[in-house]
Amino acid sequence: NLETLPNGINFKSLDLLDLTGCSRLTSFPDISTNISELHLNETGIEEVPCWIENFTNLSVLSMWECKNLKHVSLNISKLKHLEKVDFSGCGALTEVNLHDTPSAVAMAMAMAIATDSSVTRTNLDKASPSFQEYKYTPNMIMLNFANCFNLNQEAFLETQTVLQELILPGEEVPSYFTHSGTSSSYLTIPLFPSFLSQPFVRVRVCAVLMSRSCANGVDIHVNCRFKGRSGNISESFSHPHRFWAAHNDSHLFIMDCRFPLNKDDAPSLAELDYDHVDIQLQVSNSFFQREVDEHHKYSTFKWGVRILNHHSSAESGLGDPNTLPHVTDECHETEQGE
């Protein structure tokens, strides 16, 4: 029967708040900026306000099955500890703004240093000032929008510069992804000179999978084989991306991967006449799920790829919110408690 909470109390020791099932609660709780986990599942909340950026310790925001939720404003560049966001089953959700405005190349390089030992200290010292600002704050987040059918997926993908792991509903690869294939086949993509001068290439990948179990986990590996006209071959492998499908339905599993192109004390790919890359996707049940239930499998899957560089709209911010009506760049004026 809970309908409201007092505002502006700011409990200093409150670490976790679970209001799951409070269906009469319609306003986002402003009860503590020190909180690290907020579980607001199955509530009547209509908006995630922009002042949530003041919750600087927040690591988990769970709001699955919030049927009245329409607007989300998350300034992920300020929520440095945010790791998991779950809006699955929020069928009324139409507007999402992640305020994803820092330099895309800087954030991508931050991703590289966070997880890739091939990015060396020498490379870092040569990096641009914008990267130096972000190199210790990769801010990688798992975003779950499963069964959010009213969200404009194309607009959302166009405006996000960096995505670590994202789940969307769907049965087909969105047209945003410029190359597509099936199952474990290779996709051959030409490499333009502008790619070869970069320290790494960023690849955004989408796999369309049908989950046969609500608890079914999946590991997705992306393999890149760079090839040159003279027969040179260089292979790179991504670390596995692990997803858990909370809904027994078809999902789009989307991730950003980066692969080193030019390493210290080695000829550049341009010098070695590399001109294309073969990309392959490998999908398997997660290790833990195999131990529990071997017969749960994923059916034959579709997948797509888009290579990101300085000229792609998703990375350069060319996606104009004025032409993408379901992605907002504004903060709805929901007052925060004094």
250-288: pLDDT as tens digits: 889 999 988 877 665 556 665 667 788 889 888 877 654
DSSP assignment of 185-211, as one string? -EEEEE--HHHHTSSEEEEEEEEEEE-
**How many helices (H) does the chain have, and how many strands (E)?**
7, 18
The pLDDT score that the predictor gives to residue 131 is 39
Residue (of 217, 211, 202) closest to 142 by Cα position: 217
Span 124-148, mean pLDDT? 58
CB 49 within 8 A of CB 28: yes
pLDDT band at 216 (very low <50, low <70, confident <90, very high): low
The pLDDT score that the predictor gives to residue 259 is 82
Q: Which one is predicted more confidently, 329 or 3?
A: 3
Q: For 73-118, how does the pLDDT look when each residue is reduced to its tens digit (9 = 90+)?
A: 988 878 889 999 999 999 999 999 887 654 444 444 444 444 444 4
Place of tokens 């690591």: 59
pLDDT band at 149 (very low <50, low <70, confident <90, very high): very high
Instruction: Give Cβ neighbours of residue 167 (< 8 Å, ≥ 6 apart).
Output: 88, 143, 144, 145, 146, 243, 245, 251, 252, 253, 254
For residue 122, pLDDT over 70 is answered with no
Alpha-helical segments (H) within 31-137: 104-115, 121-125, 129-134
Residue (of 197, 193, 195) closest to 126 by Cα position: 197
Q: Which one is predicted more confidently, 112 or 18?
A: 18
119 forms beta bridges with none
**Percentage of the chain exceeding pLDDT 70:** 67
Question: Which two tokens mark 79?
Answer: 């929520």
Residue (of 124, 314, 125) closest to 205 by Cα position: 314
Residue (of 76, 59, 60, 24) closest to 45 by Cα position: 24
